[in-house]
Each structure stands twice: as structure tokens, then as C-alpha cells.
Amino acid sequence: MKQRKGVDDFEMSEPQFLLSYMDRHRDWAVVVCLVGGGQEIHTGEAGIGAWLTAVREQFPHWRTFISPELHDSEYAAGQALALLEGHSGVVTDESLHLAVSMRSFRSEQVSGFVKALLDSDVDRARELLTEVLPRYPMVLTRDRTQARRWIKANARGSERYGLVASSQAQRLKAYCIDVRLDVDPVKYFLADRTDTRSSCYLEDAVTEFQAQGLELDWTWMSWDADLRRRNGKWSHHRFRGDRWVDIKQPVSQQYLLNAYRVLLTRARQGMVLFVPKGRKSDGTIAPEFYDETYNYLRSLGLPEL
């Protein structure tokens, strides 16, 4: 509103503003919200909780139909849901939960596996992986040459493949993957594979911001030390100057976790996960930043190249 409309003191959230628009109807109106869980990756993206808060605080006279699955941690709507409990205008209906992902047509369980992986739910991740792998190939490697060979060998005909990585994966630059480059998404996703700007050239990597809402047939997912396993839990980091620093704000930690959720679900048909070995001589890519992550992914049952 500030940039496009010149309104400097606009204080409404997007859901509040949109609902206020529809609330002007004298008879009735319907707003249908299709909101993906765990997709908030940037400041200002409040997710479905912002819709529930708007209903509770500004539009209590609206009837609200929601899925009971919103209690899941992936949707980050727990507090807003709790405040709506007992609200006479709220109706829960299980049929409102869209449980089947259409992105990965080879396996409907890929999103569930990724969620379990990021939730550190090892047993569930292992269970789902046994269902996923027969129809949706996923492999693990610490060798970028092997990753390149695998993805090119699996793609057929006009199927697209490409590199994806977190926007915080600053030290993948040591492995010739520089996420700071300004990649043109149009060229990346549509250009002919002989074009150096094309995803199929495997030189440029798109981040969660460029890839959100878009897909490739096959992805080469490169995992950096921004999100790493430490003592059996996820540790969140940002690279500043010449070192990694801890991300301490919970909301920023969630954004990083969601970034990996987005990246791990960009492939329609399969993916290779590349976790660097690191180098003892370089404190910014120390092996201990990557080893536990690799061992965790391997423990889930991902086959190694």
C-alpha cells in the first residue's frame, strides 16, 4: 500500500483488508482461502493464523468454516484457533482439508515425508519413505559430480531438472553454487536446455523465493549449513561476514525451516540431495556443520549414491 498507493500509515493485514472489502456487501459474500501449510518464508507472511485473527477481532459476525487439521504444527495457527474455540460462528469440517498433494504425481506421500523429516519424526519419516521410494526416486550424495550425473541420467525427453538451494545457503559458493546470483525465473524454468540461463544447464540455483509455487520434474537439492542437525535437533543459522551466526528469533527459525520445506517439495518426479563434506581447513564449511545432517538423512532410509 505504501509503494503502490502512497498510503504510509496503512495498518491492516492483508486478510483484514480483503475481508473488509467483502464485508461491504449488504446481503452476503463468500471468501474461499486456499492456504498451504508451512509456506511462510518471509517477513509479513503470517499464514492462515492472520485470517483467523481477522475473523476473531474484526469480523466476529462472519461464519467461518475451517478444517480441524489446522491444529497441526505445520500451519502455525494454534494460538488463533484456541482463541476461536467456543465461537458460535465457527464450524469445523474434515472435508475442507485437501490431504492429497498433486505436485508429486508419482507419490502422494512426498509432502508427508518432508514434513516428518523437518519435524524430526524419524519413525514416521521412515514409514513414509518406504511408500515413496518405489514411485518417487530420492537419493543422497556428498559428491556434486554424482548428483549431476544422477539427475541428468534420470530425466527423459523434455523433462526439466535443476538446482535448488536455500537463500541462506551462502557457503555453497565453495561448491560453485552461488545463491546470491540474480536468476531470471522465466529463463530458468522455460528456456531451452542449451541456454546457460536454463535450469537444465545446472549452473544457476533458484531459492525458495524464486521457486515457490513452481516445480521441476527433477531437482538437485543442495543442503548448506544454514539448517543443520546438532545434537539431534535442527540448528538455524545465517552467514554474516566471515562466520555463521545463530538465528534466535522463533519466527525467523520457522521461516528457514519452511524454506527447506518449499525446496524439498519442488520436484514432481524425484530428487537428489547433495550435502557437502566440508573442509577442515575452512572454518566456514567445517565438516561438523554437515556430517550430522547427512547422517540424519541417511538414517531415515534415503539410499546413497
Per-residue model confidence as pLDDT tens digits over 160-175? 999 999 999 999 999 9
Q: Are 115 and 166 in contact (CB under 8 A)?
A: no
Q: What CA–CA distance (Å, rounded) separates 68 from 142?
A: 41
pLDDT tens per residue across span 127-158:
999 999 999 999 999 999 999 999 999 999 99
pTM for the predicted model, two decimal places: 0.78
pLDDT(41) > 60: no
Q: What CA–CA distance (Å, rounded) separates 77 from 48?
A: 6
- Position of cell 483484514? 16
pLDDT tens per residue across span 23-36:
999 899 999 988 76
Alpha-carbon distances, residue 1 vs 6, 11, 13, 304 (angstroms): 6, 10, 11, 49
